[in-house]
Amino acid sequence: MAAVQKVPDIVVGRLPVYLRALQVMAAEGREITSSQELGERLGISSAQIRKDLSYFGTFGKQGTGYRIPDLIEHLRRILKVDRTWDMILIGAGNLGHALAQYQGFTPRGFRLVAIFDNDPEKIGRPIGPHVIQDVQELPEFVRAHRVQIAMIAVPASAAQQVADLCVEAGIRAILNYAPIHLKVPKRILVQYIDPAIHLQQMTYYLGNEG
């Protein structure tokens, strides 16, 4: 069955996790896997994996399982990472530097094409292959290069303003590292990364001994 019905967000959210695990298996030289094996690796039920995949098609072979390279290709196509997406980064602090140097984007479908900051001390300095640009140049850059994805790594106090600028410039998806909820039009996709949120989720379950 093709993806005619709307796929639940929660299912879409698991696909990249499946893809990552499959790529690990491929790197191990594995050719075939099963929903059961994949589920065991990820702590997910095999039924869940089969059901999730069934929203998009039928990729396995009964009695055998899934050919890893094939399933990887299908997932890459479904997630649209069978191409490379340009991204910009705003914020050239410690986190910005780490993101700028991160080698993990390229093999997974993403490429950083520009870094912006508003600090005159930083503008013009190199980070890896890039030079920090004035955030004022962001709108023109985004329009000229048709960039759709931005990563925001500025302080909380500046994040909303930067987000507004991005949206105005035509950015359609934001990965926000600032610890605030962004107010953006519904059409804009936003994902949040905030380590303290994850840590606080865990401390709830940690005993009081600490």
Partner DNA sequence: ACGTGTGAATTAGTTCACAGCT
Partner DNA sequence: AGCTGTGAACTAATTCACACGT
Binding-site residues = 91-96
Q: Please tell me the distance from the alpha carbon of residue 55 to that of residue 38, in angstroms, as a whole number.
A: 18
- From the list DNA, a copy of itself, none, partner contacted by residue 110 (C-beta under 5 to 8 A by kind): a copy of itself
Interface stretch with a copy of itself, choices 66-74, 118-126, 162-170, 183-191 (CB under 8 A): 183-191
Tell me how far apart the alpha carbons of residues 77 and 88 are, in angstroms, rounded to a whole number. 23
Binding mask 13-52 for DNA (x = CB under 7 A): ---------------------xxx-------xxxxx-xx-
User: Helices (DSSP H) in the chain: which residue ranges?
Assistant: 9-27, 35-42, 46-54, 68-78, 94-101, 138-145, 156-169, 195-205
User: To the nearest 10°, the Cα dihedral for 157, 159, 165, 166?
Assistant: 170
Distances (CA, A) of 99 to 85, 91, 95, 128, 138: 15, 10, 6, 11, 18
- Please, what is the minimum distance in Å from the beta carbon of residue 194 to a copy of itself? 7
**C-beta of 96: minimal distance to a copy of itself in Å?**
8
Binder of a copy of itself out of 1, 6, 94, 121 (CB under 8 A)? 94
58-87 positions binding a copy of itself, by CB under 8 A: 78-81, 83, 85-87
Contact 152, 163 (CB under 8 A): yes
Residue among 73, 88, 161, 160 at smallest CA distance from 127: 88
Contacted by 141, from DNA, a copy of itself, none: CB < 5 to 8 Å by type: none
Helix axes 46-54, 35-42, angle to 10 degrees: 110
Q: Does 192 bind DNA (CB under 7 A)?
A: no
3-class DSSP state of 114: strand
- Binding site membership for NAD(+): which residues? 91-96
The footprint of a copy of itself (CB under 8 A) covers 12-13, 15-17, 19-21, 24, 41-43, 78-81, 83, 85-87, 93-95, 97-99, 101-102, 104-105, 108-110, 146, 148-149, 151, 156, 172-173, 175, 179-181, 183, 189, 191, 193-206, 208-210
The footprint of DNA (CB under 7 A) covers 1, 8-11, 34-36, 44-48, 50-51, 53-54, 58-66
